[in-house]
Amino acid sequence: MTPETTSSDWTGRLYRAGLSRAETVMVRASPQGLVLDGERTVPRHTLTIVPPVGGDYWRFEFANGDTLEVMGGGPLAAALGHTPGLLSRLEGSWRLALASVPVLLGLGAATWYWGVPWAADLAAAHTPPWVEQKLTDAGLDLIFRNEKERTTIDPARQKRLADILADMVGAREGDAFRLHFLNSPLVGPNAFALPGGDIVVTDQLLKILDDEEVAAVLAHEVGHVRHRHGLRLALRASGLSVLAAVAVGDASTAGHFLVGAPVLLLNLRFTREFEAEADADALAWLSHSPGPHEPPRSPCAFARALRKIVDSPEVKQAAAIAGHIPSWLATHPMTEERLRPFDAACPAKI
């Protein structure tokens, strides 16, 4: 508080050692130390003076465990011979405070853009497989909770595609990958991988692709699993949400938008990054010569599959509703960008 009686008299709150209730006392500085209520003198050499950080309460800690708090007690501390430290000088300088704003914003942006993804990827690398499986099981329960979504694909083709996946990943990883079939007009022609190694393909995708093209898509999804994209994306999204919530605090409706929009945009960037990485894995597998008893492979298969998906009525309808989406806002890289390396590696025109 501000001085009460004279320029050297201050009102303070005294907390006795071991007690939570404060006593109001009058304090002033003297050559001998701190004088309480004009009677008790606490020698200067027994005092520890703690400047405020982010507030205006000065703390004077006594050797016997008592603590005195004085609002605006800087002059009282100075009268006792206290010299402000670097932090106090910085806090009291508006020029330095103003100059620190861009530095803090830069550090925050760097943490947001690079620090959180790095920390999330590090956490993903040390996450035990059972955690991924828990996430996968929960996802599968959600996906297949509707009986109407049971597949209509011929069991013989289901087995054929499951065998293709098993040959693709090999015996060492075979148990980690499982293929599921989903009949979902809402999802449309699509395939996606869950963190634990389960890959879901829709009936709508299988109706427009042949087995060679489906194998190319599966190679892409296997890349997602091997790079742990699902878990990394979940951890990155969680980390960004926590960081955004800390930055905004108790967010209102507008605050929720401010928190959600940057998280969404950054996660879209991560998705494009992961799609490109999975595409590279698919291209490597399709470019590798198969064994004598394996079906032929070609990068052309992925290019054909992607073109068929993009040209499907469901995807065209969704694109018409969404309108033109800028490349920086798309969850996947632009089709032309993705097709370029596959077309370049394709031995024949498709």
Q: For 172-220, how does the pLDDT look when each residue is reduced to its tens digit (9 = 90+)? A: 887 889 999 999 888 889 998 888 889 999 999 999 999 999 999 999 9
Structural domains of the chain sorted by starting position, each given as residue range(s) with its CATH number in brackets: 10-92 (2.30.29), 120-345 (no CATH)
pLDDT at 38 over 80: yes
Q: Does residue 263 register a pLDDT over 70?
A: no
Assign 140 a pLDDT band (cuts: 50, 70, 90).
Answer: confident
Q: What is the pLDDT of residues 266-293, one digit of tens each?
A: 555 667 888 899 999 999 999 987 777 7
Could you tell me if 205 and 189 are in contact, meaning their C-beta atoms sit under 8 angstroms apart? yes
- Indicate whether 90 pLDDT > 70: no
User: What element of type H or E holds 249?
Assistant: none
Q: Please name the residues in contact with 306: beta carbons below 8 A apart, sequence gap of 6 or more.
A: 335, 338, 339, 342
Q: How many CA atoms lie within 13 A of 261 on its CB side?
A: 7
| Per-residue model confidence (pLDDT) at position 301 | 94
What φ, ψ does residue 234 adopt, rounded to 5°?
-65, -45
Q: Which are the contacts of 249, defined by CB distance < 8 A and separation ≥ 6?
A: 255
**pLDDT given at position 2:** 39
Q: In this predicted structure, which of 7-11, 208-212, 237-241, 255-259 has the lowest mean pLDDT?
A: 255-259
Q: Which of 66-70, 217-221, 328-332 has the lowest mean pLDDT?
A: 328-332
Q: Write down the pLDDT at residue 319.
A: 60
**Whole-angstrom distance, CA of residue 301 vs CA of residue 210:** 9
29 by DSSP, 3-state: which? strand
Residue 270: per-residue pLDDT: 60
| Best-predicted range by mean pLDDT (52-61, 87-96, 142-151) | 52-61
pLDDT over 70, % of the chain: 74
Mean pLDDT of the chain: 79
Q: In angstroms, how far is CA 304 from the centroid of its own chain?
A: 34
pLDDT of 156 reads 96
pTM: 0.63
Q: Which band of pLDDT confidence, cut at 50, 70 and 90, is reported for residue 128?
A: confident
Rounded-to-integer distance, Cα 59 and Cα 75, Å:
13
Q: Is 4 a residue whose pLDDT tops 50?
A: no
Q: What pLDDT band is residue 84 in, cutting at 50, 70 and 90?
A: low
